[in-house]
Amino acid sequence: MNYIVYLSHSSKDIYYEALYSIYSLAIRQDLRGVSFIIYTDDPSAFQKYLGHAQVHYETMTPALMREWRGKHNFVHRAKVRTLQDVLTKYTGNFLFLDSDTYVQQNLAPIFSRIQAGELFMDRMEKHLDRSKIYKALLNHTVAIDGIPVTFTEEVEIWNTGAVGYTNATAPLLEKSLALTDQLLDYYIRHIIEQFAISYTFQRDRRLNPLDAYVFHYWNVKEFRGYLRQIFEHPAAEDRQSLEMIVRKIDPSVLLKQKLDWKYNGGIVRAIERMFGKKFALAPLKIEELL
């Protein structure tokens, strides 16, 4: 069985992101070939929109979230625990997606490759020696399986906005969690689990990018305003209307608009940004999309 996994909790904005991600897949392929597993603190936020899909809800209680965050109360440690927990309850091929993702192609070919044993992540961002965020880890030594390992400049930094794996990956995820905890004892950064997963995976085998299939719009938070309008509009209660909207609003296009605003406005834009002006999306008119 093919599963797509989400960890979506604590915020209506994040629920809406996950819903939009699911609908972006629905306009690309028949959903009868995939099931969704949603780790959330509020299943009711999804149920009225997903009556047509096969969905398993895993309830995230405050106590469970505290446990998964660990001793450093690190929220993204819960991502590693989610990747692990899925494997204890389901058997198949898994694609974990961050809520802020937009599927751009049919995922059937990816699931076939996952089943064949390939590992996937969102994309390779840079090497360790080019990373400001992880600079403190360059030449740092940790113990993996009791053996000292030093992080050298050629270590690849992969984004974990998408992770494709199977039950056979369980030992790697156990090592990823252990490495996450080691690194948190040394250096707390908001995406340290990303380094731990990508490092553990790449030591085992070659990683494959997913960014041609799934767009991760982590840097377009302005889209959340659109999502509130979309899912709180009466049209969202109709599946066909919602799919029509999702076809017409692609977050990758919005990112291009944002980057154009930021870098192509000349001296005027530079002055505006100096005085705190920020990018804003054009007003959304739902009726014109239907």
Mark whether 256 and 193 lie in a shared domain: no
What pLDDT sits at residue 261?
A: 86
Total of domains in the chain:
2
Mark whether 229 and 251 lie in a shared domain: yes
How far is residue 251 from each of residues 26, 72, 101, 239, measured CA to CA in Å? 16, 33, 9, 20
Coil, helix or strand for 74? coil
CB 69 within 8 A of CB 78: yes
The residue behind tokens 């995922």 is 107
What pLDDT sits at residue 7?
A: 98
Mark whether 59 and 179 lie in a shared domain: yes
Mark whether 260 and 230 lie in a shared domain: yes
Mark whether 109 and 163 lie in a shared domain: yes
CA 139 to chain centre: 28
Pick the last residue of a domain from 192, 216, 240: 216
Pick the last residue of a domain from 154, 187, 216: 216
Tens of pLDDT along the chain (290 residues)?
999 999 999 899 999 999 999 999 999 999 988 999 999 999 999 999 998 899 999 999 999 999 999 999 999 999 999 999 999 999 999 999 999 999 999 999 999 999 999 999 999 999 999 988 888 888 999 988 888 999 999 999 999 999 999 999 999 999 999 999 999 998 877 789 999 999 999 999 999 999 999 999 999 999 999 999 999 999 999 999 999 999 999 999 999 999 998 888 778 777 777 777 888 899 999 999 98
Token couple for 141: 């030594």
Mark whether 130 and 63 lie in a shared domain: yes
What pLDDT sits at residue 189?
A: 75
Q: What are residue 107's phi and psi, to 5 degrees?
A: -90, 0
Mark whether 153 and 47 lie in a shared domain: yes
Pick the last residue of a domain from 216, 250, 277: 216
What pLDDT sits at residue 117?
A: 96
CB 84 within 8 A of CB 174: yes
What CATH number is attached to the domain comprising 116?
A: 3.90.550.10
Mark whether 148 and 167 lie in a shared domain: yes
The residue range of the domain holding 261 is 223-289
Which of 120, 130, 128, 129 shows the shortest CA–CA distance to 195?
128
What pLDDT sits at residue 148?
A: 93
What pLDDT sits at residue 171?
A: 97
Mark whether 227 and 211 lie in a shared domain: no
CB 175 within 8 A of CB 80: no
Mark whether 91 and 204 lie in a shared domain: yes
What pLDDT sits at residue 263?
A: 86
What pLDDT sits at residue 277?
A: 82
Whole-structure pTM value: 0.94
Mark whether 168 and 240 lie in a shared domain: no
Mark whether 146 and 240 lie in a shared domain: no
